[in-house]
């Protein structure tokens, strides 16, 4: 894996930063993409201090031209990217009757359009290499979650997108899978707690009581799964949605 180059979107913090750090530990050179390039400085410094190779790139993943430029920059500075983790995401939670057009469009553009644009840009390098790994971040919210009609629809769409790409790209040696996290302690779940007026520690404790393993997840839990799916050993795993949620999900 030492010759592999990975791109992780939404990599400034949380799950994205943890995945990027883990892939670097696995021996990959990693490009950390986020809306603000400077916001990736801390995880890049962590990776390079440990002897890894990392590059921060600022990009709006919903902007087609910007995505193409960002991916080409990665190819020019790190090498052809053959691993892609589509993690970038935002929340605009609200009940349906309060949800605005902008709330809907913003979430769809980042999660669903961004995953499409990044995958389309990177697959060119993967098909040329006859090898590739795409890992898309879905969510247990794809099964339905109050106040998240936009987010749930986008994450369900990512699951269908994942299965379709697995069919289309398999003959090129490319696997495509999705990870659907359950409750992961991140800034995004802290924002959800704030939206409903709950203390975050109490919010986590209440969530843990509903999870069979008795705890909430961490970004590292997702990073371990992404590491497996991005590796050589996952070459016969494709088109799957893996729920990393501390218990079974339908």
Percent of the chain predicted with pLDDT > 90: 95
Residue 124: CB partners within 8 Å, gap ≥ 6? none
Instruction: Dig out the tokens for 132 from the structure.
Output: 């590739």
The CA-atom distances, in angstroms, between 31 and each of 68, 76, 79, 89, 110 are 14, 12, 10, 17, 18
| Beta bridge partner(s), residue 174 | 132
Q: Which domains does the chain have, with CATH numbers?
A: 5-182+219-244 (3.40.50.720), 186-216 (no CATH)
Residue 195: what pLDDT?
Answer: 81
Instruction: Dig out the tokens for 114 from the structure.
Output: 């961004």
Backbone torsions φ then ψ of 9, nearest 5 degrees: -95, 160
**Residue 35 clears pLDDT 80, i.e. is over it:** yes
Q: In the predicted model, what is the mean pLDDT of residues 215-225? A: 98
pLDDT in tens, 87-132: 999 999 999 999 999 999 999 999 999 999 999 999 999 999 999 9
Residue 213: what pLDDT?
Answer: 98
**Residue 1 clears pLDDT 80, i.e. is over it:** no
Strands 132-137, 174-181: pairing is parallel
Largest CA distance in the chain: 51
**Residue 80 clears pLDDT 90, i.e. is over it:** yes
Residue 188: what pLDDT?
Answer: 87
Query: How much is the mean pLDDT over the chain?
Result: 97
Residue 88: CB partners within 8 Å, gap ≥ 6? 9, 10, 16, 33, 34, 61, 110, 111, 114
Active site residues per annotation: 151
Q: In the predicted model, what is the mean pLDDT of residues 211-228? A: 98
Instruction: Dig out the tokens for 144 from the structure.
Output: 């339905």
Q: What is the pTM of this model?
A: 0.97
Instruction: Dig out the tokens for 137 from the structure.
Output: 């971040």
Residue 49: what pLDDT?
Answer: 98
Q: In the predicted model, what is the mean pLDDT of residues 51-66? A: 98
């Amino acid at each position: 894996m030492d010759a592999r180059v990975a791109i992780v979107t939404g990599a400034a913090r949380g799950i994205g930063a943890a995945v990027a750090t883990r892939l670097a530990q696995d021996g990959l050179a990693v490009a950390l993409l986020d809306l603000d390039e400077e916001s990736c400085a801390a995880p890049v410094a962590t990776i390079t201090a440990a002897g890894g190779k990392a590059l921060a790139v600022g990009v709006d993943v919903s902007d087609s031209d910007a995505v193409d430029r960002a991916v080409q920059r990665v190819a020019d500075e790190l090498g052809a990217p053959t691993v892609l983790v589509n993690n970038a995401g935002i929340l605009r939670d609200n009940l349906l009757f309060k949800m605005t057009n902008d709330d809907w469009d913003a979430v769809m553009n980042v999660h669903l359009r961004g995953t499409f644009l990044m995958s389309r840009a990177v697959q060119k390098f993967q098909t040329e290499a006859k090898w590739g790994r795409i890992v898309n971040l879905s969510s247990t919210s794809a099964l339905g979650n109050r106040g998240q009609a936009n987010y749930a629809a986008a994450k369900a769409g990512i699951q269908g997108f994942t299965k379709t790409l697995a069919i289309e790209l398999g003959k090129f040696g490319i696997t495509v899978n999705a990870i659907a996290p359950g409750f992961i302690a991140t800034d995004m779940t802290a924002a959800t707690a704030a939206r409903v007026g709950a203390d975050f520690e109490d919010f986590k404790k209440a969530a843990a009581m509903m999870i069979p393993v008795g705890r909430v997840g961490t970004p590292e839990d997702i990073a371990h799964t992404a590491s497996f799916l991005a590796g050589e050993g996952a070459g016969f795993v494709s088109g799957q949605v893996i729920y990393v949620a501390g218990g079974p999900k339908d």
